[in-house]
Structure 1
């Protein structure tokens, strides 16, 4: 029987450059915001892209008042990571005039200028530049209004799929296909830098079943994986380029310096064809979930809406951050009867489609229990539940706020403070670093947290020595430390403890996961991972710890120690607990019952070895929809721990 080969997809075009099977891989040098707001640095990055042999230099353009909710821009009610993201975007933005000059400069150098518009007004500006194609950020894969505006330009679209599920990718592709858009789907792991075990290059074959033109947008360290993507059939490769990986900003760590980028292009040209096995399903990593929440879009109320309203198009807007209902659910939301009153910019949630969210009540545990709060949501959480304690999660901007603006009188409950991990200027707390300048800065900030905690005691008179939960540092960027250097990090932290005035408070280091997520990218953690080490340090220095159950489970998975035995070792040194489920090597903060932890087993261990330790549920985005994730976790934990 005559075998007819499958029809090959027709190539698409960016200017005079064809993209498709049999064509050279199109290499994008993603400058993004790596110019850090400096025009001359942007020009130098274009020059580096030209020298490396890239096909285009790509930038980003956004109008913040179009992309973000007004209340997010004001900084009054969003998460710590959203505050950090907005801070960087404001400082690193180029003007429209500078972007036009860069586009002209690219033309003079024979390299294409491309740009990622994050909103419709930016599309209109770029149309005036004569841009020949548009990149769609992973955060906007589900943003149907923006996709429609881009399709209307008639230009080729390069569409990243990071932070999205397989079903969301299919829905977006169907939307593009129905409107006869010319586009490429880029496989992408949206963490900076990305962990190798999360990348799953073979998922490109699954993407190819959705749409025939597929490429890869990489954020991993080095060049090997991106080169391998070409071997697996990628027709487009996108990598960030930087002049210095140590610069401020989340993308630099996942970028290639000029000589590395040149080596990548050389490698790509050597391995432009090959195929491999496919990955059947795309899974979101924890880092992607973080970045999805910070960067993606949600359905929000376009105006004040009364309960009982039949929801229409005019009641809904699409805004960042991505902490509410996905824009892909907009058709299902239209026509629903709203069960609650909403103010303009409030998120819609899945419970607006379903029967309703989990509700708070008075839970019963044999140990003190509580919930994590920010200053601004303390009172509303206390109105709907009766915890024994609350845990204040501070951002660096919270450190400048007066708690008295949010708290009044005194409260008959205990409190814990969670110190910020991130401070202004993209500095991570590290009380164990050999970088003396960073250690001194971390000491100053930690002392400020201690002083804030002392000030909070007047609102909570029953708490005599409040614990301060701290991720104290000891991480590295590219690889774990050898034993002798790890011991030195413990020694440095011990020295830092001596230099802090902790009168009236208790600093409690948190147990850490092997691969902590910083700025939505993976690092290597070196201290307070192994229970035996942590217990020994606490015994020597008269410390107690906050044991994060999820973190410790991930460490047990990675290093192979016995999880229950590890908790037994930590128990006598445990002041406070964070409860969340865990899966694999970096799936942390999962909803209870959705990971690998046997809570009956660990409940027995903790009742024996840490019977009086307080706890909160530490569930990723558990505070959304009036704490829905926390109440679900507490329901599932009741009677088990």
Structure 2
């Protein structure tokens, strides 16, 4: 399957315009704490409508990754960090409401923190996971076909972990599968990665295509890591959208994302001719 070009940008007009000149089919907005203010949400709405005016209908809003210099964690303790909990909930609710209004998607990360941090909030890991799934259930009920959940390298919500995978399947969640996160969780094992992607493909509606060496979060261009893209592309859901979530040297220049698309297109074209 040949993926369409999917690019990511902040809500900055300079970044958005730079991406639009390459005519992406899929557009993902990276949001931050400032986008969740009243003025920020108004600006975000204007930027989504602006992108839609170019004929782009497949738009994803990425829930802010951070709040007050720490992770915007679904598992945040309402008792130990009430301000963090309030931000996490109110931002997710505001984005879901906006997504329903404009007929776009919201992506919520299932977890960021390491196991120790999550355990410190709840005393034990099983309880923390129960809290995460209860909150994801709430977001799913609120958002319906406008919300999806992304895997992490955190054991709080990591595809590749069969317990998590069984639970997300049982809950009928719509999923975003970050390929590099799965690869890192599985310690660089391509065979296990392909099995995980295939298992979750029926519920996966969006992919983050990004390479990795499989050891830690490195967000590499496709072809610069160890992921077997030929095998991966055979098992992803062909109906899902995707973007290239690559670290950029310059946030106003999407060249690493576009180079990844060119690499994948060339790889798949070569594969088809052999």
- Same fold by TM-score, threshold 0.5 exceeded? yes
**8 Å CA contact retained: 2:118, 2:128:** no
Q: CA 1:536 to 1:472, structure 2 compared with 1: closer, same or farther past 3 Å?
A: same
Q: 1:44-55, aligned counterparts within 5 Å?
A: none
- Contact 2:169–2:200 under 8 Å retained in 1: no
Mapped pair 1:397 → 2:34: yes
Which residue of structure 2 aligns with residue 121 of structure 1?
none
Structure-to-structure mapping, 1:412-561, within 5 angstroms: 412-413=55-56, 414-423=58-67, 425-436=68-79, 437=82, 438-455=84-101, 457=102, 464=103, 466-473=104-111, 475-476=113-114, 478=116, 485-500=124-139, 502-503=142-143, 505-514=145-154, 525-557=155-187
Kindly report which structure 2 residues correspond to 1:219-298, keeping only aligned pairs within 5 A, or say none.
none
* 1:165 equivalent in structure 2: none
**Of residues 236, 257, 266 in structure 2, which corresponds to 1:630?**
257
Which secondary structure state, in structure 2, belongs to the residue aligned with residue 366 of structure 1? coil
CA RMSD of aligned residues (A): 3.0
> Cα deviations across residues 489-535 of structure 1 (Å, max 9, x unaligned)?
23112322344462465322211124xxxxxxxxxx43224352333
Distance 1:474 1:633, change over 3 A: closer
Indicate how the Cα distance of structure 1 residues 639 and 487 shifts in structure 2: closer, same or farther if over 3 A, else same: farther
Unaligned runs of 5+ in 2: 269-274
Aligned 8 A contact 1:368 1:612 in 2: no
- Residue ranges of structure 1 left out of the alignment (5+ in a row): 1-364, 458-463, 515-524
TM-score normalised by the chain length of structure 2: 0.79
Kept in 1, the 8 Å contact 2:115–2:156? The answer is no
Query: How far off its partner does 1:428 sit?
Result: 2.5
From 568, 571, 574, the equivalent of 2:201 is 571
Contact 2:160–2:192 at 8 Å: present in 1 too? no
Q: 1:467 to 1:599 in 2, by over 3 A?
A: same
Secondary structure at 1:637's aligned position in 2? helix
C-alpha distance in structure 2 between counterparts of 1:433 and 1:561, whole Å: 34
Tell me the alpha carbon deviations over residues 418-459 of structure 1, each in whole angstroms, 9 at most, x when there is no partner.
110112x3342222244443444421221122233345x1xx
Counterpart of 1:118?
none
Q: Compare the two structures and name the one with the higher helix fraction.
A: 2
Match in the other structure for 2:272 = none
Q: How does 1:311-326 map to 2 (within 5 A)?
A: none
Residue-by-residue CA offset, 1:358-394 (whole Å, 9 max, x unaligned): xxxxxxx634441002222223321x21221101111
**1:291 matched residue in structure 2:** none
Q: Is the 8 A contact 2:113 2:156 kept in 1?
A: yes
Q: Structure 1 pair 559/604, CA: closer, same or farther in 2 (3 Å)?
A: closer
SS in 1 for 2:247: coil
Please tell me whether the aligned partners of residues 471 and 510 of structure 1 are also in contact (alpha carbons under 8 angstroms).
yes
